[in-house]
Amino acid sequence: MSEAVKAAWAKLESLAKPTLQTLFADPARLDLLSARLDLPGGAIRFDWSKTHLDSAHLAAFEELAEVVRFKAKRGAMFAGEAINVTEGRAVEHTALRGVGRDTSVEEAGALHARMRSLVQAIHGGALGEVKHLIHIGIGGSALGPALAIDALARDGAVVDVHVVSNIDGCALEAAFARCDPATTLIAVASKTFTTIETMTNAASALAWLGENGVDDPYGRVVALTAYPDKAVEWGVDETRVLPFPESVGGRYSLWSSIGFPVALALGWDEFAEFLDGAAAMDQHFLETDGAANLPLRAAFADQFYTRLKGCQTRAVFAYDERLGLFPDYLQQLEMESNGKSVKADGSPVDGATAPITWGGVGTDAQHAVFQLLHQGTNLVPVDFIASIAPGDALDPAHHRNLLANCFAQGAALMAGKDAKDPARAYPGDRPSATILCDDLTPGTLGALIAFHEHRTFANGVLLEVNSFDQFGVELGKEIAKAIEAGSTTFDPSTEALLAEAGIK
Ligand SMILES: O=P(O)(O)OC[C@H]1O[C@](O)(CO)[C@@H](O)[C@@H]1O
C-alpha cells in the first residue's frame, strides 16, 4: 500500500462515527445522501441516509478514490485498455451498451445486429414452431439470463425459456419434463465453450431431442460463445453461432449474445430497452465525479462497513418477487469479482476485500432471517430494493403492504427499541440503504444491474484488486478432473468419500 493510500485509510479510520440517530439531527442529511436518476423506463431513487456515511466520510473516501486513481482506472476501462492485468484483457461489457471505445462499440453493434436477425427469424418461424428454449450455461452464462427472464418475462413470454446450469441431471430432467422436443430449441451458452457442466448438459439435450423424434438435433441448437470456431467444430451450423468478444467477462456477459434467451423471450425492442437502461447508468458512472457518482458512493458505503466496521457480510433483500434471483446474480458478480487476497500488482491485500453477499426476497425473509439482522451479534449492512408500481394486478393492498414492510424494516433496523426485558430489546443503529424504482421495466432492470457492475468495479479500485479474473475457481475443477481420470491419490478423507460413493 502506498503511503498516500495508507494515509487515506488512516484518516477514514480516525473519523468520528456517530450513530444514525445522531446523524439525522442534520436536517440536510436526506438531501445529502439520497439521489434520483431518470432513466429509460423510469426513475430510480437511491437512499443512503440510513447508513453511517456523513459528509466527512464522503470527503475522505473521495480522497481515497483520488489516491487509488479511480478516475484514471475508470477511464482506462471505458477506453478498452487491458485493465484485467492478470489475463492481459480489456474489459468491454459497456461497449455492448454503446458506451466505450469506438471500434468496440461498432463491433458490438454488428454482433447485436446478427443476434437480432436470428431472434426475429425464429419469431418469424424460420426454424419452424418454437415454443420452448432450453438455455444451457453456468455461472455468468446462466445467472444473468435467468434473472432477467424471471424478472421481465412473467406475463406472456414469446418463447418459454428454461435455464439449466447444474451438472446434476435432475436440473436438465426438470426442463425436459416441461418441454415438447418437437418445438424446443437448445441454446448452448459458454464463453469458453469448454465448461464441463455445459458441454455435458448440451450433449444430453441433443440426445434427448434425437431420442424423441427430432431428425436433426444439431439443427435445433444455437451457440452463444466467445469462441465460435469451437461451437462450429462441436457441430453447430455457423448461421446459428452468435459470438461475443473475449473482452466481455463471463459475469458481465448478459448484454452480449448470452442475452439471446432474454431477447427471444421478451422480443428485441425490450432487449434494446434493457441495453439502453444500462447505457444510461454507464453514462452516469463515466461522467459523474466524486460522491455524486452513485455506484462509487455505494462502494464508499460498502468499504465503510467492510473495512472500517469489520462486517463480513452484506445482505440484499428485493421487496419484489420478480427479483428473487437478484441476490444469486449479485453473489457471483461481487464475490467472484472481489473475493481476492492479492492486489492487481500481486502484493497481499491490506485488509478485508469482498464481504459475503447474501439475501432473499421480502417479505419472506422477514419471517426467516431478519431476527439475526435486528438482534444478532453480526452487524449486517442491508440493501432494500423495491418498485413503486406493483408487478401484480391483485388488490392494491398487496403492494401497499409489501412496500410498508420494506420501509418499516429499514426504520426498525435504524431506530431499534428499548425494553425492560433484554430479549425484547432492539439495539438499533443498524444500517440499510434503499433503492426504489418507479417500476421494474427492461430499462430500470438494465440500469440496476449496470449500477451493481460499476459498484463492484469501484470497490475493486478502492481495494486495488483486479475485479476481472477468477483464478480461485480453477483448483477445484482441476481436482474434479483428476478424480474422473482416477490417476491421483488424495488425502484419506477424500479417498474414503470416493470409495463410499463407488467412484474409486
Ligand atoms: O461461460 P463459460 O466459459 O462456460 O464459464 C462459465 C462460468 O465459469 C466461470 O469461469 C467460473 O468457473 C465463471 O466465471 C463463468 O461465468
Domain assignment present for 82: no
Query: Atom 14 in ligand 1: which residue has the minimum CA distance?
Result: 250
> Which of 84, 165, 188, 195 for mutating ligand 1's site (highest number of atoms within 8 Å of CB)?
195
pLDDT band for position 51 (cuts 50, 70, 90): very high
Question: For position 155, what pLDDT does the model report?
Answer: 80
Confidence of residue 397 (pLDDT cuts 50, 70, 90): very high
Closest C-alpha to 8, from 346, 350, 342: 350
Residue 6 known to be catalytic:
no
Cβ atoms of 115 and 257 closer than 8 Å? yes
Q: What is the pLDDT of residues 241-271, one digit of tens each?
A: 999 999 999 999 999 999 999 999 999 999 9
The answer to whether 477 is a known catalytic residue is yes
Same domain for 253 and 341, yes or no, is no
Mean pLDDT of 172-197: 98
ipTM exceeds 0.85: yes
User: Phi, psi at residue 89, to the nearest 5°?
Assistant: -125, 150
Which atom of ligand 1 is the closest one to the Cα of 192?
3
What is the position in ligand 1's atom list of the atom closest to the CA of 138? 6
Q: Indicate the pLDDT class of residue 394, thresholds 50, 70 and 90.
A: very high
Same domain, 153 and 192: yes
Cell of 254: 448478459
Q: Is the pLDDT of residue 378 over 80?
A: yes
Note whether 146 and 325 are within 8 A (CB).
yes
| Residue to mutate, 252, 328, 470, 474, ligand 1, most ligand atoms under 8 Å from C-beta | 470
Ligand 1, atom 16: closest residue by C-alpha: 140
Q: In terms of residue numbers, what domain contains 204?
A: 93-272
As a whole number, mean pLDDT of residues 26-32 equals 96
Q: In the chain, what is the straight-line distance between the N-terminal and C-terminal CA atoms, in Å?
A: 47
Inside any domain, residue 86 = no
8 A C-beta contact, residue 226 and residue 248: yes
Q: Are 206 and 217 in contact (CB under 8 A)?
A: yes
CA of 149 to the centre of ligand 1 (A): 20
Residue 248 lies in a domain: yes
For residue 112, being part of any structural domain is answered with: yes
Collapsed DSSP state (helix, strand, coil) of residue 432 = strand
- Residues 69-117 pLDDT 10s: 999 999 999 999 999 999 999 999 999 999 999 999 999 999 999 999 9
Domain end marker among 241, 272, 303: 272
Indicate whether 81 belongs to any domain: no
Domain identity same for 251 and 295: no
Query: Do 315 and 423 share a domain, yes or no?
Result: yes
Which atom of ligand 1 approaches the CA of 477 most closely? 12
| Claim to verify: residue 254 and residue 343 sit in the same structural domain | no
The per-residue pLDDT for range 313-343, each reduced to its tens digit, is: 999 999 999 999 999 999 999 999 999 999 9
**Alpha-carbon distance 170 to 356, whole Å?**
28
- Same domain for 144 and 50, yes or no, is no
Q: Is residue 78 part of a domain?
A: no
Q: Residue 497: what pLDDT?
A: 95
* Residues near 8 by beta carbon (within 8 Å), at least 6 away in sequence: 60, 63, 64, 67, 68
3-class state of residue 313 by DSSP:
strand
Is the confidence at residue 1, as pLDDT, over 80?
Answer: no
User: Residue 108: enclosing H or E segment and its boundaries?
Assistant: helix 102-123
How many CB atoms neighbour CB 412 within 10 A? 17
State which H helix or E strand residue 254 sits in: none
User: 138 CA to middle of ligand 1, Å?
Assistant: 6
Question: How many A from CA of 259 to the centre of ligand 1?
Answer: 15
Let me know if 336 is a catalytic residue: yes
Nearest to 320 by CA among 164, 454, 441: 441
Both 125 and 251 in one domain: the answer is yes
Query: Is residue 224 located within the same domain as residue 117?
Result: yes
How many domains, the chain? 3
Whether residue 84 lies inside any domain: the answer is no
User: pLDDT averaged over the chain?
Assistant: 97
pLDDT tens digit string along 432-482? 999 999 999 999 999 999 999 999 999 999 999 999 999 999 999 999 999
341 and 232: one domain? no
pLDDT of residue 41: 87
Q: How far is the CA of 69 from the centre of ligand 1 (A)?
A: 29
Q: How far is the CA of 166 from the centre of ligand 1 (A)?
A: 12
CATH of the domain at 210: 3.40.50.10490
- 79 lies in a domain? no
pTM: 0.97
Residues 111 and 250 in one domain: yes
Q: Provide, rounded to the nearest whole percent, the portion of the chain with pLDDT above 70.
A: 100
Provide the edge-to-edge strand list for the sheet that holds 160-164: 160-164, 132-136, 184-189, 221-225, 241-243
Q: Cα(499)–Cα(504) distance, rounded to whole angstroms? A: 5
Which of 215, 247, 272 lies at the terminal end of a domain, its last residue? Answer: 272
Buried-exposed string 68-105: b where 16+ CB fall within 10 A, e elsewhere? bebeebbeebbebeebbeeeebbbbbbbbbbbbbeebb
Both 263 and 293 in one domain: the answer is no
CA distance 406 to 364: 11
232 and 326 housed in the same domain: no
Show Cβ contacts of residue 314 under 8 Å, excluding neighbours closer than 6 positions: 302, 305, 306, 355, 356, 357, 358, 380, 381, 382, 383
